[in-house]
């Protein structure tokens, strides 16, 4: 099942399916209960990913730069 997060402001929402296309995302955990399912290399500073949650991705916003048209209206 795709994990969904809505921001506290309610103006944006993202899913793991959107984040998996981010150029810094190397993998998404298949476990829907995983609290930090996104393997991201942006903040690790190396090719070894660190685990972040969707709230981090929502704040970061780099997944929007992947060119797949996930900009929110
Ligand atoms: S934290 Fe930012 S760079 Fe890392 S996977 Fe999420 S959107 Fe991409």
Q: pLDDT for 2-59, tens place per residue?
A: 667 765 555 567 888 899 999 999 999 998 889 999 999 998 888 999 999 999 999 9
Does residue 20 belong to any structural domain of this protein? yes
Measure 12 CA to ligand 1 centroid, in angstroms: 15
Does residue 19 belong to any structural domain of this protein? yes
Does residue 70 belong to any structural domain of this protein? no
- The pLDDT of residue 15: 87
Which atom belonging to ligand 1 lies closest to the Cα atom of 41? Answer: 4
Q: Are 25 and 52 in contact (CB under 8 A)?
A: no
User: With a 6 A CB cut-off, is 42 part of the ligand 1 pocket?
Assistant: yes
- The pLDDT of residue 67: 61
Does residue 72 belong to any structural domain of this protein? no
Q: How many CB atoms neighbour CB 44 within 10 A?
A: 15
In the predicted structure, residue 62 carries a pLDDT above the cut 90: yes
Q: Which helix (H) or strand (E) holds 60?
A: helix 54-60
d(CA 6, CA 27): 21
| Residue 72 or residue 12, greater confidence | 12
Number of domains making up the chain: 1
Does residue 35 belong to any structural domain of this protein? yes
The residue to which tokens 């981010």 are assigned: 22
User: With a 6 A CB cut-off, is 60 part of the ligand 1 pocket?
Assistant: yes
- Which of 16, 47, 56, 61 for mutating ligand 1's site (highest number of atoms within 8 Å of CB)? 56
CA dihedral (51, 53, 56, 60) positive or negative: positive
Domain span at 14: 4-65
- pTM for the predicted model, two decimal places: 0.79
Does residue 47 belong to any structural domain of this protein? yes
């Amino acid at each position: 099942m795709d994990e969904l997060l809505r921001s506290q402001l309610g103006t944006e929402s993202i899913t793991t399916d959107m984040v998996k296309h981010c150029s810094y995302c190397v993998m998404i955990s298949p476990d829907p209960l995983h609290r930090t399912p996104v393997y991201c290399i942006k903040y690790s500073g190396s090719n070894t990913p660190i685990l972040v949650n969707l709230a981090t991705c929502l704040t970061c916003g780099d997944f929007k730069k992947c060119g797949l048209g996930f900009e929110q209206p």
